[in-house]
Each structure stands twice: as C-alpha cells, then as structure tokens.
C-alpha cells in the first residue's frame, strides 16, 4: 500500500504527540511531511512548517488538531482539493449545515476520531437496528478547564469556590459543544454515533476533585441498554484535553494507513 503523506494542523497538546510519533516512524504506512500552525515553530517541529495552501499540494491526508474554527474555515477546501481530512474537533459538526457540506464534499474523504470516549462503534451498530430511546452523557472536569467568556460572575464564583461537583450546563449535544468548544467534543462524537444531535442529553460538571476527566455515556432502546464510563488523566500541558486523545488520533491514522489487526 502507498505511504500516506500526512500534514498536521496545530502543534499543541494533540499535534505534538501525533507529529512526533509520525516523525519517529511509529505509524507504519504514514509519513509526516509538514505542519501548519499560525505561530513560528522553528526547530520545534520535526517537519517543514508550511501554509495551508502549500500543505494541500504536499499531502494526501490532513489531520486537524487545532480546534473547531479550522474545520469551519478549511474543511471543504481540503476535501475539494482531493485531500482526505481526519477531524479531532468533532464539536464543529454541531453545525448541521457544515456537517452536510463536509459529508457531500470531495473527492477527498472526511473521517472523525472518537477521541476520549469509547463505545461509539457499538452505538453505531445499534443505531442500525433502530433509534435509541434515551442517550445521555455526563462529562466531569476540573473547574478551571471549563471557564468560558460567556459565564456570569455568579457561576464563575460557584465554580471557583466549590468544594464538590457543580453542574455548569445541561443541554443537548447540539448546544453544549458550542458553549465549550475546547472541552466537549465528546458530546458531538456521541451524537455522530447515534445520528441525532438533539437526542443526546449532556450534563457538564465542574469538580475540584476531578483529578481524572470522566465521561459517562448511557443509552437504551428496544434492543438493549448500554453504559460506557471512562476516566482519563488530563494532558499536563493542556488540562482541557485528555492525555489519551492524541493516541486515539494515532489509532485512526494507523487504520487509514492500512495497519492489519485493527479493530474496526
């Protein structure tokens, strides 16, 4: 099989781990050829730093690791150039118009990584049997990682002074990732798996004792009941991101590069 020529957008908590692994040859069949970032990286990046337009000439696969804005601005252009796109910031897909355009675009193909949550493959399989009656997600993180510009002083005060868990927001998978663009991509990923943004009820909880980030997914329907719970260590450089996320991206890359023995 041909070697996938990969460009990474974003040299942060996710991009650094993914890019370093690629540069060290730890993903057979995939080669890091360039990095796109709006900051000058110098020798910090193990491949050439180029513009987005240049990357589309060099790569056959772009990995988005820089936030929802990149998906909105560049997603269709990447796919229209014939380059494949692997999206980590699935929260961008809460914009259904954007999601439809990306899925219809081409000749490049769009893929999504499951990130910090498991069980999405099973939820997709169950969805084929019929719609699920109830789907919920509870995400719990350290208060400082959930602070947002739209929060009023009363909520911020409750979060900062809390001795225990504080519910920060309750809504659907359509609503929550818009309010927490760097912290709740998991909600959009669950909604992608079940096929309905409005069917997934999401609670975001701030807990000063949350030394691990937790996601609890529960779903039920005529064909069964399902519960998945994960507890991750936050990334030390960016606590809003779970430490496991770049490794989920690497697993996705290994699948796209044709590694045998993968669970699909």
Q: Which sequence positions are flagged as catalytic?
A: 215
Q: What is the DSSP letter of 156?
A: H
Beta bridge partners of 141: 206
> Kindly report the CA angle at 201 between 196 and 203, in degrees rounded to 5?
140
Cis peptide bond upstream of 232, omega within 30: no
Beta bridge partners of 206: 141, 166
Q: Which residues of 107-127 are buried (b: 16+ CB within 10 A; e: fewer)?
A: ebebebbbbbbbbbeebeebb
User: Other C-beta atoms within 10 Å of 222: how many?
Assistant: 10
């Amino acid at each position: 099989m041909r070697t996938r020529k990969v460009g990474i957008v974003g040299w942060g908590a996710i991009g650094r781990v993914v890019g370093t692994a690629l540069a060290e040859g730890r993903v057979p069949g995939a080669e890091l050829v360039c990095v796109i970032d709006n900051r000058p990286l110098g020798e910090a990046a193990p491949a050439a730093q180029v513009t987005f337009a240049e990357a589309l000439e060099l790569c056959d696969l772009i990995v988005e690791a820089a936030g929802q804005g990149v998906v909105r601005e560049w997603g269709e252009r990447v796919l229209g150039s014939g380059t494949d796109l692997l999206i980590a910031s699935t929260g961008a897909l809460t914009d259904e118009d954007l999601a439809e355009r990306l899925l219809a675009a081409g000749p490049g193909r769009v893929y999504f990584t499951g990130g910090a949550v498991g069980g999405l493959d099973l939820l997709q399989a169950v969805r084929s049997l019929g719609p699920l009656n109830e789907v919920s997600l509870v995400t719990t993180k350290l208060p400082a990682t959930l602070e947002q510009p739209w929060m009023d002083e009363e909520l911020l005060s409750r979060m900062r002074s809390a001795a225990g868990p504080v519910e920060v927001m309750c809504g659907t998978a359509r609503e929550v990732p818009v309010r927490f663009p760097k912290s709740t991509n998991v909600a959009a990923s669950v909604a992608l798996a079940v096929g309905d943004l409005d069917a997934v009820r999401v609670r975001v909880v701030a807990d000063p004792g949350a030394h691990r980030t937790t996601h609890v997914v529960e779903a039920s329907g005529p064909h069964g009941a399902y519960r998945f719970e994960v507890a991750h260590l936050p990334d030390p450089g960016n606590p809003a991101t779970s430490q496991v996320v770049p490794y989920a991206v690497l697993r996705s890359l290994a699948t796209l590069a044709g590694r045998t023995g993968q669970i699909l």
